[in-house]
Amino acid sequence: MSNYHIKHLEEYYQVYRKSVRNPEIFWEEIAEEHFMWRKKWDNVLSWDFTKPEVKWFEGAQLNITENCIDRHLHIRGDKTAIIFEPNNPEEEAQHISYRDLHDKVCRFANVLKEQGIQKGDRVCIYLPMIPELAISVLACARIGAIHSVVFAGFSSSALATRINDATCKMVITSDGSYRGAKTIDLKGIVDEALKECECVETVLVAKRINTDIHMETGRDHWLQPLLDEAYHDCVPEVMDAEDPLFILYTSGSTGKPKGMVHSTAGYMVYSAYTFKNVFQYREQDVYWCTADIGWITGHSYIVYGPLCNGATTVMFEGVPSYPDFGRFWEIVEKHKVNQFYTAPTAIRALAKEGVEHLEKHDLSSLKVLGTVGEPINEEAWHWYDDNVGKRKAPIVDTWWQTETGGIMITPIPYATPTKPTYATLPFIGIQPALMDENGNEIKGNQVDGRLCIKFPWPSMARTIWGNHQRYKDTYFSAYENKYFTGDGALRDEVGYYRITGRVDDVIIVSGHNLGTAPIEDAINEHPAVAESAIVGFPHDIKGNALYGYVTLKETGESRNQNNLRKEINQIITEQIGPIAKLDKIQFTNGLPKTRSGKIMRRILRKIAGKDTSNLGDTSTLLNPEVVQDIMDNAL
């Protein structure tokens, strides 16, 4: 079991050194000892960041679901793979064993095949957090279809864009979903989206809320009768190491969402290895990540990473506030959760409710607490440490991205001493670099710069679906021979990293990555709007909230401004989803622009954050007079 499970700091440094001195030997050993291969690789790694092209374990053949399910059957067939905790606490939780999971995934895979899905086809999954979501993901992987999970909070038009971009042949959805006290008409959203999607031939519908819905003859099928008829075993498709496993969309700072493409072997090895170490998972543990499988966190650390390690992983359908703010702690107690992984925005929302909810529950099972998605502020970090972990469960502040596929900078619990707000040290095999504005690497400690990665790691995204040039431009063109993350970071006196936030036009709201451009595009569709600009401003719970500056076509627009604000947020909700709604909308007479016509967001960001002491030189602007006007009317 060499190097697979790191248990103290010295061991971390030893293994880290080995992993960067001899990456190929290091990853070959991990891959060889801990995974099931149909055929071993010819070459561990080939890479060229100028193209960019990266290949791990080339020549190898495997199926990731054999690693997630089949190989566990004879040793832990009866062990619970997935605990499903429903939205309604009165509804019984489901325990799905590895043996049951095998049966369910195989049946589902056979249904996909019967419906004409073949290796390489794209399947869009638009489901709430119910077992069918994890099962359909694995069923696609079983037959070599590429899954594209779209978070079921996205609107019909966001869904349509993603379905069309990947030309999905099938959509898997449900009649509806529960979210706290509300129900959502998911199938209605799919029907609306499919008016714009010619590529979709089939829709499979899981029953969840038992409402009467429209079923399009010839296109839509109820899932359950098909599963009941299907054969319970399915021979896994043999995949090449570099075959795409899935596409997952992330917002860009410009234009349409980017379909990040993840490979099979490298993604498997890295998500499994990070899971084991970052959460110090042991055989009897129950692990719970509160993310949705619609995000990368759910792909890597609810489904693939945990299942590859034969873990018990909790899937929670609901929200932290339903029926009250004690729900998370009730679930921790009920299932005796050992590792708990959530987002800073959830921690802040729960902290605001006080500790009385916590005090009602026994949280003594907790051994590791994780956080991900955005920088965690000091107050939230301490609240989590003091009240949830009682200072006994180390916090792993894990920094990574949809693009990186797995955790990149993180403490290893019980090995790395933690430090509030710091993601601390690079994970095994990860070689970060901080860059200055002239493209030079900043060496030494107590420095800050733009965060890049100098060397490939197994789970990095290989391309953007259908647009390799954009992949190159976005990630490999800012700095020569390096992957650029889009984040700023500092390195303290002992070499610990702290992520300071995005340095591009992406804003993280409640842990959701939002590009400014798509929101502005949506606003600009309002007939009264001439132009708009979105910036983030600090918010107690969401981390950042959105502030929109909107210039109307006719100055002195006679309509009620509050009605206009509602209409603008309505368009955003329709085009992107409620997560992108603006907290503040200021109507302006113009937006500050450079002489080349680029909106100066830096100034707008300062005004939104009420930090106007140092706006910098505004005299070079095309229209310096608007700045004072915007300041005078700021919200």
Scan residues 373-392 and list those touching ligand WT7 (CB under 6 A): 373-375
Q: Least distance from C-beta 260 to ligand WT7, angstroms?
A: 8
Q: Is 464 in the site for ligand WT7 (CB under 6 A)?
A: no
Taking a C-beta distance cutoff of 8 angstroms, is the pair 288, 337 a contact?
Answer: yes
The position carrying tokens 């004690």 is: 326
Kindly tell me which of 278 and 350 has the beta carbon lying closer to ligand WT7: 278
Query: How many angstroms separate the CA atoms of 249 and 149, rounded?
Result: 8
Scan residues 506-535 and list those touching ligand WT7 (CB under 6 A): 508, 513
Among 165, 487, 505, 520, binds ligand WT7 (CB under 6 A): 487
Q: Which one of 370-378, 535-543, 555-563, 589-597 is the stretch in contact with ligand WT7 (CB under 6 A)?
A: 370-378
Strand, coil or helix: what is 473? helix
Q: Is 176 in the site for ligand WT7 (CB under 6 A)?
A: no
Query: How many angstroms separate the CA atoms of 459 and 263, rounded?
Result: 7
Tell me the angle at which helices 131-143 and 98-114 cross, rounded to the nearest 10 degrees: 60
Q: Least distance from C-beta 503 to ligand WT7, angstroms?
A: 9
Kindly tell me which of 340 and 549 has the beta carbon lying closer to ligand WT7: 340
Strand, coil or helix: what is 628? helix
Among 297, 312, 532, 586, binds ligand WT7 (CB under 6 A): 297
Angle at the Cα of 183 (from 177 to 184), degrees rounded to 5?
65
Among 27, 98, 399, 422, binds ligand WT7 (CB under 6 A): 399
Q: Is 502 in the site for ligand WT7 (CB under 6 A)?
A: yes
Strand, coil or helix: what is 493? coil
Kindly tell me which of 271 and 588 has the beta carbon lying closer to ligand WT7: 271
Kindly tell me which of 280 and 402 has the beta carbon lying closer to ligand WT7: 402
Q: Least distance from C-beta 209 to ligand WT7, angstroms?
A: 28
Kindly tell me which of 81 and 489 has the beta carbon lying closer to ligand WT7: 489
The position carrying tokens 């410009």 is: 254
Q: Least distance from C-beta 353 to ligand WT7, angstroms?
A: 23
Q: Least distance from C-beta 118 to ligand WT7, angstroms?
A: 30
Give 610's contacts (C-beta < 8 A, 6+ positions apart): 537, 634
Taking a C-beta distance cutoff of 8 angstroms, is the pair 127, 171 a contact?
Answer: no
Query: How many angstroms separate the CA atoms of 221 and 216, rounded?
Result: 8
Among 292, 397, 504, 520, binds ligand WT7 (CB under 6 A): 397
Taking a C-beta distance cutoff of 8 angstroms, is the pair 138, 172 a contact?
Answer: no
Cis status of the peptide bond prior to 52, with omega within 30 of 0: yes
Kindly tell me which of 250 and 339 has the beta carbon lying closer to ligand WT7: 250
Kindly tell me which of 498 and 581 has the beta carbon lying closer to ligand WT7: 498
The position carrying tokens 């999607």 is: 197
Q: Which one of 89-97, 267-275, 400-408, 521-529 is the stretch in contact with ligand WT7 (CB under 6 A)?
A: 400-408
Taking a C-beta distance cutoff of 8 angstroms, is the pair 279, 287 a contact?
Answer: yes
SS (H, E, C) 285-317: CEEEECCCCCCHHHHHHHHHHHHHCCCEEEEEC
Strand, coil or helix: what is 353? coil
Scan residues 246-285 and list those touching ligand WT7 (CB under 6 A): 250
Among 296, 434, 464, 580, binds ligand WT7 (CB under 6 A): 296
Query: How many angstroms separate the CA atoms of 363 and 347, rounded?
Result: 15
Among 96, 415, 423, 627, binds ligand WT7 (CB under 6 A): 423
Taking a C-beta distance cutoff of 8 angstroms, is the pair 56, 241 a contact?
Answer: yes
Q: Which one of 7-15, 42-50, 295-303, 520-528 is the stretch in contact with ligand WT7 (CB under 6 A)?
A: 295-303
Q: Is 401 in the site for ligand WT7 (CB under 6 A)?
A: yes
Taking a C-beta distance cutoff of 8 angstroms, is the pair 207, 174 a contact?
Answer: yes
Per rule CB under 6 A, count of chain residues that contact ligand WT7: 22
Among 400, 476, 496, 547, binds ligand WT7 (CB under 6 A): 400
Q: Is 474 in the site for ligand WT7 (CB under 6 A)?
A: no
Q: Is 402 in the site for ligand WT7 (CB under 6 A)?
A: yes
Q: Is 335 in the site for ligand WT7 (CB under 6 A)?
A: no
CB contact burial 28-61 (16+ within 10 A = b; e otherwise): bebbeebbebeeebeebbeeebeebebbbbbebb
| Residues contributing to the site for ligand WT7 (CB under 6 A) | 250, 295-297, 372-375, 397-402, 423, 485-487, 499, 502, 508, 513
